[in-house]
Structure 1
Amino acid sequence: MVKLYKLDGSPPARACMIACELFNVPVELIDVNLMAGEHLTPEFLKKNLLHTVPTLEDGSLVIHDSHAALMYLADVYGKQESFYPKETKQRAHVNQKLFFNSTILFPRMRNTTYPIFMEGMTEIPQKNLDAIEEAYGFVEEFLSRTKYLAGDNITIADIAAYPTVTSLLIFLELNAQKYPKTQAWLKDLEKLPYVQKGNAKGLEDLSNFIKSKLG
C-alpha cells in the first residue's frame, strides 16, 4: 500500500490527495505535525532529507516532490491516459504547466505564507499581492488558449495548480470580471467529487489559520 505523508493545509499535499482519490490508489494517509517537529525526526529524515510534505512512499520508492509524485501516480495507477498523456508533445504541455505551478504559482504562495508561519508577519506586503495578481494573469492567459491548463481536458497539471490557486485566493480575491476564464476553471474543478474530497478541508484549515494570524 502507498503511504502519503501529508499536512492537509499544504497545497502540494492536497494535489497528491486529489490524485490518489482520482486514480483509486490504495493509500494510507499519514498526518505530519510540522509544528511539533514530526518532519524533523530521524525516521522522517531517513525517508526525506528535505523534511517536506508531501512525501510519497510506495514500497522501496520514496518521492519527496509533489509533481514527481503526480507523474508517478498517473503512470502507475491512472487508468485514463488523458490525465498524463504518453504522446511526447502532449506530455510536454502537461510538464510545462506542472513546472509553472512549481516555479511561479507555488513560490508566490510560499513567499507569503512562510513569513506568516515563521516570522510573525501580520500584514501582507503589496509586492506579494502584486506578484499574486500577476500569477492570476498568467493563468488567465493559459486558459484563454485552452479550456484547461495543458489542453482541452483535465490533466495532472490542473490537479497540481488548483490547490495552489485556491490557496492564493485566501490572500487576494479573484476579480471574476478581469479573469473570467480562471473563474470558470475554478468553478469547473470545484464541483468534481475527487477534487472536493482532496482539497476542501485542507483549504479551510489553511484559511482559518492564516486569518487567525493576520487578525
Structure 2
Amino acid sequence: MDFYYLPPSPPCRAVMLLAKLMQIQLNMKVVNIMAGEQLTPDFIKMNPQHTIPTLDDNGFILWESRAIMGYMVNQYAKDDVLYPKEPKKRALVDQRLYFDAGTFHARIFDYFYPVAFTGAEPQPEKLEKINESLNLLNLFLEDNEFVAGNNLTIADISIVVSVSNAETTPLL
C-alpha cells in the first residue's frame, strides 16, 4: 500500500499509528505541500481533492484519514474490535470520529493555523471552544476506558492524535 503523507500532519499520524498497531507495512511517500507536490497533475489525477493523507491499495484510492482507518480495519483486521460491525457500537465509534473531525480537531486547527501561519493574534474565544471540546471528551471517558466504550477503537486513535497535537501546540 502506498501512503501519501506529511509527517507532522495529525490525520496522517493517526493512519500511521493504526498501521503500526495492525502491523501493516505502508510504502511511505512524503508529499511536500509547502512545495505544492499535492498539486501536480499525477497527484490530482489520483486524488482530485489533492489532500493528504491518501492511500493507494493496489489501485483502490482513498483519502480522509478516518475513512482510511475504517477501510484498513474492514479490509485487513483479524477481528472487528477496532471498528465494530455491530450497528450501535459502530455508530458510537462513528459519532466520536465525526466529533473529532468536525469539532475537536477542527477547533484546534481553527485556533492554531491563523497564529502559526499568518501571524494573527491568538483569540481567547477560540481557545474556549477547544476547552469545551475537552470537556465533552471527558464526558465520553466518564464511564468508559476509551472514547466509545471499553475497547480501543479507531476513534481513540484519531482523537489521541488531536489531543497530542493540542498538547504540543505552544499557544495552548
- 8 A Cα contact 2:5 2:28, kept in partner: yes
Tell me how far 1:113 sits from its aligned partner.
3.2
2:107 equivalent to 1:108? yes
- 8 A Cα contact 2:110 2:126, kept in partner: yes
Distance 1:113 1:55, change over 3 A: farther
Q: CA–CA distance in 1 between the matches of 2:26 and 2:110?
A: 31
Q: Which runs of 5 or more residues in structure 2 are unaligned? A: none
Measured against aligned partners, the alpha-carbon deviations of 1:91-141 in whole angstroms (never above 9, x if no partner) come to 1111111111111111112212331354233x3211121111111101001
Distance 1:173 1:135, change over 3 A: farther
- 8 A Cα contact 1:16 1:69, kept in partner: yes
Q: CA–CA distance in 2 between the matches of 1:105 and 1:80?
A: 28
- 8 A Cα contact 2:2 2:57, kept in partner: yes
RMSD (CA atoms): 1.7
Distance 1:117 1:44, change over 3 A: farther
TM-score by length of 1: 0.75
Q: CA–CA distance in 2 between the matches of 1:46 and 1:114?
A: 28
Q: CA–CA distance in 2 between the matches of 1:171 and 1:14?
A: 16
Counterpart selection for 1:155 from 153, 156, 159: 153
Q: CA–CA distance in 2 between the matches of 1:120 and 1:48?
A: 30
Letter in 2 for 1:6: Y
Match of 1:34?
33
Letter in 2 for 1:50: Q
Q: Which runs of 5 or more residues in structure 1 are unaligned? A: 175-215
2:91 equivalent to 1:84? no
Q: CA–CA distance in 2 between the matches of 1:127 and 1:47?
A: 39
Question: 64-73 or 83-92, which moves further after superposition?
Answer: 83-92
- 8 A Cα contact 2:3 2:53, kept in partner: yes
Match of 1:68?
67
- 8 A Cα contact 2:4 2:52, kept in partner: yes
